[in-house]
Amino acid sequence: MTRGALASFVLFSALTAGAFAAISCYYGQINQIGNTRTGSVSSFYCPDSNYCMKVYYAEKSSNYNYNTYSCGDFHCGRSGCINYGNGYGQCCCSGTLCNSGFTYSKTSILALLVSVFYMFS
């Protein structure tokens, strides 16, 4: 490989690496009082973020939950949750659509189901 071609490859790799680092997150808000749920959440491309975020509030005495979903932008520096007390908290995660609140990876569950299917067939 010539020196010019190598330089072009390195430059192209550096420029495209940032484009693929961005993720998609769930974006919106959900309110739930008893069995009544309002609000909506949809997928949103986060070009300047490596994290997704979920902010939650839960008041058990009145059966009230409030969740907001967004890109982690400047609020997240690592994956994990912080409980601020009194039902408030914030969770950050670093995978595409990871802020759903679903505690198991959908890929892991699919792999488990396929394994069980093949084991018993």
Q: Where are the domains of the chain?
A: 23-119
In whole angstroms, what is the distance from residue 104 CA to residue 88 CA? 22
pLDDT of residue 60: 85
Q: Averaged over 104-119, what is the pLDDT? A: 58
In whole angstroms, what is the distance from residue 27 CA to residue 95 CA? 14
Read off the pTM: 0.66
Q: What is the pLDDT of residues 14-33, one digit of tens each?
A: 334 444 568 999 999 999 99
CATH assignment of 23-119, among 3.90.1170.50, 3.40.50.300, 2.10.60.10, 3.90.550.10: 2.10.60.10
- In which order are the strands placed within the sheet that holds 80-85? 36-46, 23-33, 64-71, 52-59, 88-93, 80-85
Q: What is the pLDDT of residues 29-66, one digit of tens each?
A: 999 999 999 999 999 999 999 999 999 999 988 899 99
